[in-house]
Amino acid sequence: MFDKVLVANRGEIAVRVMRACEDLGIDTVAVYSEADRHGGHVRFADEAYNVGPARAAASYLDGEAIVDAARRADADAIHPGYGFLAENADFAERVRDAEGITWVGPDPGPMRSLGEKTKARSIMEAADVPIVPGTTEPVDDPETVREFGDEYGYPVAIKAEGGGGGRGMKVVRSADEAADQLESAKREGEAYFSNDSVYLERYLENPRHIEVQIVADEHGNVRHLGERDCSLQRRHQKVIEEGPSPALSDELREEIGEAARDGVREAGYTNAGTVEFLVEEDPDREPGELLGPETNFYFLEVNTRIQVEHTVTEELTDIDIVKEQLRIAAGAEIGFSQDEVELEGHAIEFRINAENAAEEFQPANEGSLDVYDPPGGIGVRVDDALRQGDELVTDYDSMIAKLIVYGSDREECLARSARALKEYDIEGVVTIVPFHRLMVTDDEAFVGGTHTTKYLDERADKDAIAAAQEEYGTGDASTGGDDEEVTEREFTVEVDGKRFEVALEERGAPEIPTPDAGGGGGGRDRPDVATSDDDGGEEVAVGDGETVEAEMQGTILSVDVEVGDEVAPGDVVCVLEAMKMENDVTADMGGTVTEVPVGEGDSVDMGDVLLVLE
Ligand code: MV4
């Protein structure tokens, strides 16, 4: 077994992996960025190394810096956690090729082949695992899309080869949409995954998302540890996960579990992984009714890493999956047969995100844990890396903790969840705890287990969510006290070619500057205007023409105009990546471009000037 493991991650998962190491008598090494200098995982580790600035690309995603830290610490293994480099085959190779350091995860080969969606589909087909009817080769001709639609019917899903999560999927609902949606899917694939290759599948309108936990060792043993139901998602982001699924009969559960084993075996996959499936829901199913063995289920993708929600499976099986990962990486055989895997009771994981569910789950942009008092008691587990007084780190994702609740059945689990969520006292940072409390007490679809992957985006009661925030929310920094000014601002945004008029409420916003006689920026410090105390020079106003400003904080994906161009109202002038979406920014007015103060890759804040027109 290893003597010392470096955990190439941060936050709750880093602490969680370190706990498994400690159980095995292994010393732990943390890596941290400047933003995480005071992070909980740094406090927890036996030793810690700074790997770079806050920007993930220069720290947690810098494979060379991570391996250097492992060398300096004399670590004999690296565990990647999830996210960051966990599914980066090149990094897995770099670790494998670094003398004396073991990669805790699958071999690069199977990681690569399962990461290419059409290759993964071919592997599953070879293992007789049901795949969604579609192509296993890339397509690039709209006529192919139309022929597929004629044969299988609409809607048709166009998916990016390198896609995953919510990105890289377009839905074609009729033949005349084929060309535009194909072009858009290829463009998004290129923008997000540097791979414009796309393939087709028949689109399932209302599936459940069921995933099977797998552990496989290097001696040919493959076990499934039951399934998790991850159907409660918002914009492809999981919010609540549970097991066993409230929708599956035991026969269907067995079929899906065995299919997952067959697929992983065929791929030559080892260590921990998750096989995702789409299960066709019966829209008329009543709460308590179960989907039988005749139900259609289809392979979706394999996650070649430990997942956020692995904890649900741990509570049901009493198997420490991270310890299994470490044992497998050290060459041990899995110590239990498939028949010895016993699933008992019911478990639900609640992602504690620093977001305001009443404001479209807007991530908090600031805060400190003035009060942080997690719940306890029978059946309650909290995985976090926090303590009261911590500043909220907003450089990475918004999940700050996980609450995992166990009960002898779903009813007891829901009751315990309501209690634990009520006890979860967090003040100073807005979180979605109020949303979770609503789900487990009053939301009929969730309590009845009939929600599908579209439920939150299309049917959840937004007024009830806002009321829950109002009732259970704790005066958080980012929702401001009563005395703060609320400024409403109207914006016109275009998302994927569709225009939206949005009204945003901003609390504590500086007043909007009104150009004074001097034509200067006036009013609040405008980030786009270098002022004398910024650089010692005189004030340099960006220009006194009409400006196009960023309507939200984000990163410039592309600038589509240059000085001298003529712009008409509605023209797309640049693309801004924000809230995990590609947003076309359009000019409200026409004119000639006189200044373009931003460029590709720039981070911009709301209100920054992107363009000046005369
Ligand atoms: C689908 C689908 C329906 N039909 N494929 C979403 C992200 C990506 N991992 C695959 N996803 C989907 N693929 C076909 N042929 C519906 C989704 C989908 C979804 C899947 C799982 C969990 C949440 C989801 C939310 C929206 C759409």
Q: Is the CB of 452 under 6 A from ligand 1?
A: no
Q: Residue of the nearest CA to atom 7 in ligand 1?
A: 166
Q: Is the CB of 204 under 6 A from ligand 1?
A: yes
Biggest alpha carbon–alpha carbon distance for the chain: 81
Looking at 470-484, 526-540, 598-612, which range is the least confident one?
526-540
pLDDT greater than 70 at residue 504: yes
pLDDT greater than 70 at residue 335: yes
Q: Pick the residue with more confidence: 612 or 355?
A: 355
* Res 525: pLDDT: 36
- Assign 236 a pLDDT band (cuts: 50, 70, 90): confident
Q: Is the domain defined by 354-481 classed in CATH 3.40.50.720?
A: no
Q: Pick the residue with more confidence: 382 or 482?
A: 382
* Res 479: pLDDT: 45
DSSP 148: H
Measured from the Cβ of residue 593, the count of other Cβ atoms closer than 10 Å reads 20
Could you tell me if 325 and 254 are in contact, meaning their C-beta atoms sit under 8 angstroms apart? no
Q: Is the CB of 453 under 6 A from ligand 1?
A: yes
Phi, psi of 461 (to 5 degrees): -85, 100
* Res 509: pLDDT: 63
Q: Is the CB of 138 under 6 A from ligand 1?
A: no
User: Which tokens sit at 4?
Assistant: 């010392």
- Assign 336 a pLDDT band (cuts: 50, 70, 90): very high
Could you tell me if 416 and 378 are in contact, meaning their C-beta atoms sit under 8 angstroms apart? yes
Which of 124, 236, 275 for a ligand 1 pocket mutation test, highest count of atoms within 8 Å of Cβ? 236
Which of 453, 456, 459, 580 for a ligand 1 pocket mutation test, highest count of atoms within 8 Å of Cβ? 453
CA 257 to chain centre: 25
**Ligand 1 mean position to 191 CA, how many Å?**
20
- Assign 535 a pLDDT band (cuts: 50, 70, 90): very low
pLDDT greater than 60 at residue 25: yes
| Fold of domain 208-344 | D-amino Acid Aminotransferase; Chain A, domain 1 (3.30.470)
Q: Is the CB of 162 under 6 A from ligand 1?
A: no
Q: What is the mean pLDDT of residues 482-500?
A: 69
Where does CATH 2.40.50.100 sit in the chain?
A: 546-613
Where does CATH 3.30.1490.20 sit in the chain?
A: 133-202
Q: Is 237 exposed, middle or buried (0-12, 13-18, 19+ CB in 10 A)?
A: middle
pLDDT greater than 70 at residue 531: no
Q: Is the CB of 304 under 6 A from ligand 1?
A: no
pLDDT greater than 90 at residue 472: yes
Indicate the CATH number for domain 133-202: 3.30.1490.20
Phi, psi of 458 (to 5 degrees): -115, -20
* Res 107: pLDDT: 98
Which run of H or of E encompasses 402?
strand 399-407
* 404-414 tens-digit pLDDT: 999 999 999 99
Q: What is the mean pLDDT of residues 331-343?
A: 98
Q: Is the CB of 236 under 6 A from ligand 1?
A: yes
How far is the C-alpha of 196 from the C-alpha of 576, rounded, in Å? 19
CATH tag for 4-104 (out of 3.40.50.20, 3.40.50.720, 3.30.1330.90, 3.50.50.60): 3.40.50.20
DSSP 414-478: HHHHHHHHHH-EEESS--SHHHHHHHHHT-HHHHHT---TTHHHHTS-HHHHHHHHHHH----GG
* Res 563: pLDDT: 87
Phi, psi of 357 (to 5 degrees): -65, -20
How far is the C-alpha of 12 from the C-alpha of 374, rounded, in Å? 14
pLDDT greater than 60 at residue 505: yes
Q: Is the CB of 166 under 6 A from ligand 1?
A: yes
Where does CATH 3.30.470.20 sit in the chain?
A: 208-344, 354-481
Determine the 3-state secondary structure of 195 from DSSP. Answer: coil
Looking at 128-137, 162-171, 240-249, which range is the least confident one?
162-171
Indicate the CATH number for domain 546-613: 2.40.50.100
Which of 158, 278, 456 for a ligand 1 pocket mutation test, highest count of atoms within 8 Å of Cβ? 278
Rounded mean pLDDT of the chain? 89
Looking at 132-136, 301-305, 529-533, which range is the least confident one?
529-533
How far is the C-alpha of 63 from the C-alpha of 45, rounded, in Å? 20
Q: What percent of the chain has pLDDT over 90?
A: 72
Backbone CA torsion sign across 357, 359, 363, 369: negative
Q: Pick the residue with more confidence: 614 or 149?
A: 149
